[in-house]
Structure 1
Amino acid sequence: MSVTPVHPRTEPPGDAGDLSGFGYGQQLRRKIGSYGSFAAGFSFVSILTTVFQLFSFGFSFAGPAFVWTWPIVLGGQLLVALCFAELAARYPISGAIYQWASRLGGRGWGWTAGWLMIAAQMVTLAGAAIALQVVLPPVWSGFQLVGGDSSLTSVTGAANAVVLGVLLLGLTTAINAIGVRLMSVVNSVGVTCELVGVALLCVALFSHAERGPGVVLRTQGVGGHGYLWAFVVSGLMASYVLVGFDSAGELSEETRDPRRTTPRTILRAVLVSGLGGALMLLATVMSADSVDDGSLGDPARGLPYVLTSRLGDTLGRAFLVDVAIAVTVCTLAIQTAATRMVFSMARDRVLPFADGLAKVNPRTGTPVRSSVLVGVLAAALLLVNVGNAALFTTLASVCIMLLYLAYLMVTLPLLVRRLRGRLPAADGLFGLGRWGVVVNVLAVVWGAVMAVNLGWPRAEVFDPQGGHTYLQWFAPLFLGGALLVGALAYAVQARRSTATPVDTVDTVDAPALALGGAE
């Protein structure tokens, strides 16, 4: 059987009726408006969280000139976002990447994309939660619950990061379980605080500028490898940050009028994040006490050090509190997106323990078991940081490669469909028109190049301390391991599904049987 196609509509039916056209009943509650949808995508990117975490990484490889990598990555990701916006208008279903890839490339193709996305989201969630260690101890020493050095690279700092991260995951799991309305309100308030904080931070730093914008032409830190190499590697910082905008699509079944709302909010999340991040980077290199003394490339100092040294201890700590709020809503958004991905795949009965994971609590209207599972697995991943902080950092880097691969597994079959003239029409909704082929081709090329760049076994990125060859090759090893585990899980679940008679399955609640191939 094939997936129910999307037909053009002159007048939108109710959202629940629209969803039933794909073979799904309305189980989740539609409580999210336009701003809440935007907040879901923006908070996943969370420029305050990720730029604070990763600024020193980018700067250490190319000096102030690494700022130029930001608009390059933004342009590439905007191409991907444009393709996703088209698909969000045609397939407004939870589990966006999995659903889109399944309907464009077939069941096995879509399942692989979904599995890679789940793995990436789990690790990204743990990585976001651990970011509290970067901002809370500098605000107040009492947040260093494990006595000793607060640096993430130290034994005590790594342990304390796990404690703070687990506490945060407990909070976000509870919010997700209570209901999507609470999640959306908390997320929207947090995003508003983050947007205001980014604007005020940029104004404050620019007002304390020590040098002009020409500083971005300086290339110290290149070393003997050549500037092109340093530029490509430092660009990984922006690549790590500008992902997750598709999470607005993950909440399509909980968004009002998603065919029109979600495409706009996906693009807004990318553009606002891109503009805000660019201003933050420029303001930082212009206002830092020095761009030559190594402090900007030091993971223990970096951007938080610029805040406290340039803005004073009190104002600097106030901004760090805002960053902590951003970390919290970022963690919440990632967990929500991962939960909806697990729910969507479980509802199609293509994951182990699907029946339990697909259940929606009738009181809260949320997939509570999926949310708890995501939170527990992310907390378990955090434990890696206690014994080997370098391994956790490497793991967090590799997961971004999986995100780019999952994105590529959407844009590639979309291009094939487009060239064959088989992309479903959606009159009156978002579309690329005559620019579709050009944008789609560039998105595929961009995704392929970045996936290779992210996974390239550079010792400087994956094993900076040296002595652990397996870390240098961790990206291809992890990808192979994830696919192997996924293949085993898929085989087990396929055997169980085969044992279930077709006539005993309600195709509205479990339409996996309709995912036998692309449309």
Structure 2
Amino acid sequence: MSVTSAPPDTDGADLRGFGYEPQLRRSIGSYASFAAGFSFVSILTTVFQLFAFGFSFGGPAFFWTWPLVFAGQFMVALTFAELAARYPISGCIYQWSRRLSNATVGWFAGWVMIIAQIATVAAAAIALQVVLPSIWSGFQLVGGDSALTSTTGATNAVILGSLLIAVTTIINISGVRLMSIVNSTGVTLEIIGVAAVIVLLFTHAERGPGVVFDTGGTGSGLGYVGPFLVSALMAAYVVVGFDSAGELSEETRDPRHTAPRTILRALAAAGIGGGLTLIAALMAAPSLTDGRLATEGLPYVLMSRLGDTGGRILLIDVAIAIAVCTLAIQTAGSRMVFSMARDNVLPFSRALQKVSPRTGTPILPSVVVGVGAAAVLLVNIGQPALFTAITSVCIVMLYIAYALVTVPLLVRRLKGWPHAEDEVTTERGGRLFSLGRFGLVVNVLAVVYGIGMILNLGWPRPEVYDPAGAHWYLHYFSLLFVGGALALGGLAYLRYRTRAMSLHLTLPTAAPVVAEEIA
């Protein structure tokens, strides 16, 4: 009889093959694993948060940045799916990178990912400011303009974001089961909300789909290349985090089978849903020229087309999506901290690697990520440039971390990776996910896309990073932040270099998982 599930001890034995004793509780199934990746991308959070940004620079034709970025990231996701099947370990970006390259590259991949995830928690939490004051003016706790680009709006965003981070931290330290229930419920509501938004906006369309060829006066021909590249930052900011299913591998049942599939499903669902949401909003917007779409974005479209009641109901769903997005990112970040601390290559590793015997959760890493994200918000309180600066920084760091996996993988692939493919199976006895003969082409495309987007994201543009001309350093904020993070990481690595090198030299080779026949 064919195998449909793994024997109870297979996952634990598999992890021991990598040199780690099971500590985290395996309570995440296929849907919860999918939800982890989908909620990190969270199109209701990020598309609502960033639509105005993309439209303001590229006009309606900025829509085409979405399929292009999605295609590039899908190449990355395909390579990650192969790795998730072969290395089902928490802190996957760090674990994959050091096994594909060396101790130094792996350590910096993990370090960059931790900084990126902390900043991304802060960036996601900020999105509450986009929707809550639109639902009820009482959520504007600081008097004045609620727009993120205003001083009062930015200050209120910090307050709302900090409160949300406090809540997600409490949920995370309460256990992975509660986290997965909250996350899965939130994702289900988000999927329903996305479908509702798409259908309702299409039924209120003011113009046809040809609107996506209108540049809105932002340029034409080669003159549109610059605005188009800037507007592409919107899609680049959104389509990340699909690797979260890999981050939770040690808490997922049958991870070699489950994680690769949920990585791809999460990205595919987000890509299709996000693309339809963009074109529906462009078709249903009351006006493309009154300036409101470039400043108020999708909340303006919903409220004007669906009325106060319908618009507010959907905005409540968006607020739920923002909350579970923040939760999912914080969870992924805490597992990265735990994974590196378990190898004793982070400051205070002894404390950070402890798992609560009651909840089966690494509590201190969750607190560290939450406190770090709140600190990122608080040091920027009252700064109108907060939104763009934090968002740009966290995404540049994520793309760098991804490149520290895809580039070493390409090098290894040129040397014949993967080896002994036919001898390795999933927990259920099936073949591991593999790109086969297309692997090299996909990997090359993933590397080229990633490097190109890193350059596009990090390129200093005053109109993006410091539109008000308030501070000279904001113009170069992404470069300064990335440089500072790498410099600080370099100092930390000097302290743990010997340990990391020693650990790399003794990396065990995990035995292939061969599921037994179940009668």
Q: TM-score, normalised by structure 1?
A: 0.92
Paired residues for 1:414-493 under 5 Å: 414-424=409-419, 425=421, 426-427=424-425, 428-493=431-496
1:87-116 CA-partner distances (Å, limit 9, x unpaired): 000000000100000100111101111111
Q: Is the 8 A contact 1:34 1:265 kept in 2?
A: yes
The reply on whether 1:166 has 2:155 as its aligned counterpart is no
Query: Any idea what SS the aligned residue of 1:271 has?
Result: helix
Report the more deviating stretch, 381-390 or 406-415: 381-390
Distance (Å, rounded) in 2 between the aligned partners of 1:450 and 1:216: 22
Match of 1:342 among 337, 341, 353: 337
Q: Tell me which amino acid in the other structure corresponds to 1:468.
A: H
1:155-207 CA-partner distances (Å, limit 9, x unpaired): 22222211111111111101110100000000000000000000011000000
1:506 maps to none
1:25 maps to 21
Distance (Å, rounded) in 2 between the aligned partners of 1:186 and 1:76: 31
Paired residues for 1:139-150 under 5 Å: 139-150=135-146
Q: Tell me which amino acid in the other structure corresponds to 1:174.
A: I
Q: Is the 8 A contact 1:107 1:517 kept in 2?
A: no
1:515 maps to 504
- The offset of 1:470, in angstroms, is 1.7
The reply on whether 1:243 has 2:246 as its aligned counterpart is no
Distance (Å, rounded) in 2 between the aligned partners of 1:387 and 1:289: 32
Paired residues for 1:48-197 under 5 Å: 48-197=44-193
Report the more deviating stretch, 391-400 or 438-447: 391-400
1:278 maps to 275
1:241-266 CA-partner distances (Å, limit 9, x unpaired): 00000011000000000000000000
Query: Any idea what SS the aligned residue of 2:181 has?
Result: helix
Distance (Å, rounded) in 1 between the aligned partners of 2:239 and 2:320: 19
2:348 maps to 353
- The offset of 1:395, in angstroms, is 2.7
1:366 maps to 361
Query: Any idea what SS the aligned residue of 1:361 has?
Result: coil
- The offset of 1:475, in angstroms, is 2.0
**C-alpha spacing 1:46/1:80, structure 2 compared with 1 (3 Å):** same
- The offset of 1:476, in angstroms, is 1.9
Query: Any idea what SS the aligned residue of 1:26 has?
Result: coil
Query: Any idea what SS the aligned residue of 2:293 has?
Result: coil
Query: Any idea what SS the aligned residue of 2:88 has?
Result: coil
1:317 maps to 312
- The offset of 1:220, in angstroms, is 1.4
- The offset of 1:487, in angstroms, is 1.1
Q: Is the 8 A contact 1:94 1:249 kept in 2?
A: yes
Distance (Å, rounded) in 1 between the aligned partners of 2:129 and 2:367: 23
- The offset of 1:513, in angstroms, is 4.3
Distance (Å, rounded) in 1 between the aligned partners of 2:266 and 2:183: 14
Distance (Å, rounded) in 2 between the aligned partners of 1:113 and 1:221: 41
- The offset of 1:423, in angstroms, is 2.5
Q: Is the 8 A contact 2:152 2:382 kept in 1?
A: no
Distance (Å, rounded) in 2 between the aligned partners of 1:40 and 1:63: 32
Q: Is the 8 A contact 2:175 2:361 kept in 1?
A: yes
Q: Is the 8 A contact 2:126 2:387 kept in 1?
A: no
Match of 2:31 among 14, 30, 35: 35
Distance (Å, rounded) in 2 between the aligned partners of 1:391 and 1:200: 31
Q: Tell me which amino acid in the other structure corresponds to 1:292.
A: T
1:220-245 CA-partner distances (Å, limit 9, x unpaired): 14159811111111111000000000
Q: Tell me which amino acid in the other structure corresponds to 1:358.
A: Q
Residue segments in structure 2 that go unaligned for 5+ positions in a row: 1-5, 426-430, 510-519
Distance (Å, rounded) in 2 between the aligned partners of 1:232 and 1:151: 25
Distance (Å, rounded) in 2 between the aligned partners of 1:33 and 1:349: 29
Match of 1:403 among 383, 398, 413: 398
Distance (Å, rounded) in 1 between the aligned partners of 2:390 and 2:158: 15
1:305-344 CA-partner distances (Å, limit 9, x unpaired): 1100011011000000000000000000000000000000
The reply on whether 1:219 has 2:235 as its aligned counterpart is no
1:268 maps to 265
2:513 maps to none
Query: Any idea what SS the aligned residue of 1:312 has?
Result: helix
Q: Is the 8 A contact 1:304 1:320 kept in 2?
A: yes
Q: Tell me which amino acid in the other structure corresponds to 2:104.
A: G
Residue segments in structure 1 that go unaligned for 5+ positions in a row: 1-10, 498-510
Q: Tell me which amino acid in the other structure corresponds to 2:373.
A: A
Q: Tell me which amino acid in the other structure corresponds to 1:56.
A: A
Q: Tell me which amino acid in the other structure corresponds to 1:362.
A: P
**C-alpha spacing 1:294/1:375, structure 2 compared with 1 (3 Å):** same
Query: Any idea what SS the aligned residue of 2:143 has?
Result: coil
Q: Is the 8 A contact 1:129 1:168 kept in 2?
A: yes
Q: Is the 8 A contact 1:347 1:512 kept in 2?
A: no
Q: Is the 8 A contact 1:106 1:517 kept in 2?
A: no
Distance (Å, rounded) in 2 between the aligned partners of 1:409 and 1:154: 37
Query: Any idea what SS the aligned residue of 2:277 has?
Result: helix
Q: Is the 8 A contact 1:415 1:437 kept in 2?
A: yes
CA root-mean-square deviation: 1.7
Q: TM-score, normalised by structure 2?
A: 0.92
Distance (Å, rounded) in 2 between the aligned partners of 1:392 and 1:209: 30
- The offset of 1:398, in angstroms, is 1.9
Distance (Å, rounded) in 2 between the aligned partners of 1:482 and 1:391: 18
Distance (Å, rounded) in 1 between the aligned partners of 2:466 and 2:163: 29
The reply on whether 1:288 has 2:292 as its aligned counterpart is no
Distance (Å, rounded) in 1 between the aligned partners of 2:491 and 2:400: 20
Paired residues for 1:301-316 under 5 Å: 301-316=296-311
- The offset of 1:145, in angstroms, is 1.9
Distance (Å, rounded) in 2 between the aligned partners of 1:462 and 1:231: 16
- The offset of 1:154, in angstroms, is 2.2
Q: % of aligned pairs identical?
A: 66
Report the more deviating stretch, 330-339 or 474-483: 474-483
Distance (Å, rounded) in 2 between the aligned partners of 1:447 and 1:285: 28
Q: Tell me which amino acid in the other structure corresponds to 2:232.
A: G
Distance (Å, rounded) in 1 between the aligned partners of 2:134 and 2:478: 32
Distance (Å, rounded) in 1 between the aligned partners of 2:345 and 2:463: 38
1:390 maps to 385
Q: Is the 8 A contact 1:105 1:517 kept in 2?
A: no
Distance (Å, rounded) in 2 between the aligned partners of 1:369 and 1:279: 40
Q: Tell me which amino acid in the other structure corresponds to 2:486.
A: L
